[in-house]
Amino acid sequence: MKYCANCGATLARRVPPGDSLLRDVCDACGSIHYVNPKMVLGAIPVWEEGGQARMLLCRRAIEPRYGYWTLPAGFMENDETAGEAAVRETLEEAGARIELQGAFSMISVPRVNQVHVFYRARLLDLDFRPGVETIEIALFEEERLPWKDIAFRTVALTLKRWYADRAKGAFGFHAEDLK
C-alpha cells in the first residue's frame, strides 16, 4: 500500500496517536488504512447412503495448489453471512447444492492473515459439476480419501477432525491455530 485510496497522496507508515501498531497513514487527508485478516468460508459436503459417508472434494484448476484436492471454500464477501458464503462457494466451485448443518471448524492461520471456517453440510443431490476453478469433483469414502494430495492444511485438519467426531458419534466445534 503506497497511495491513499481516499485522496491519492503518498502514505506514511507509522503508529497513529492512541494506537500501538504501524499503520498506513495519510498526512494529506488524515485517513488511516487498516488491514485486517480475511475470512475463508467453506463447506464439508457429505452424501450419506447405507451408513456410508461420501465426502465431496474438488480438484483445484487454479494456483495455489493446482491439481490438489480441497473442500469447496473461498473468501467471504461483503453483504453476506458466513453461512451464505459457504453455500455460495460450494455452488460456484462444485455446482453443488447443500444444506448447512452447523459450524464445525475455525482455524486461524496468522502466517497468511486468514481465518478458515468450515460448516458441516448435507449434499442435497448428486447433480454437481466442476466450476471454472475446479478440474474435477469426486465423492470419497474415508478409506479412499487422497490424504497426501490435500491442497491446504486447514482442509486436512478439518477432514481429520470430522472423521474423528463421526467415529465418536458426536460433532463438536473446533477452534484451532495453524502457525
Shortest spacing between CB 53 and a second copy, in angstroms = 21
- The torsion defined by the Cα of 125, 129, 135 and 141, in degrees rounded to 10, comes to 20
Grid cell of 53 as nine digits: 459417508
CB atoms inside a 10 Å sphere around CB 19: 12
91 forms part of the interface with a second copy (CB under 8 A):
no
User: Which CB sits closer to a second copy, 1 or 126?
Assistant: 1
78 forms part of the interface with a second copy (CB under 8 A):
yes
124 forms part of the interface with a second copy (CB under 8 A):
no
Cα 174 from Cα 106, distance rounded (Å): 6
Do 35 and 21 contact (CB within 8 A), yes or no? Answer: no
Helix (H) / strand (E) containing 155: helix 153-168
- Which range binds a second copy by CB under 8 A, 53-61, 110-118, 136-144, 154-162? 110-118
- Which range binds a second copy by CB under 8 A, 17-25, 50-58, 121-129, 157-165? 17-25
- Which range binds a second copy by CB under 8 A, 49-57, 72-80, 121-129, 153-161? 72-80
* Contact pick of 73, 94, 117, 151 for a second copy (by CB under 8 A): 117
Do 91 and 111 contact (CB within 8 A), yes or no? Answer: no
- Return the ∠ at Cα 121 (arms to 179 and 151), rounded to 5°: 40
Q: Which residues bind a second copy (CB under 8 A)?
A: 1-8, 10-11, 18, 21, 24, 33-39, 75-84, 102-103, 106, 108, 110, 113, 115, 117, 119, 132, 172-173, 175, 177, 179
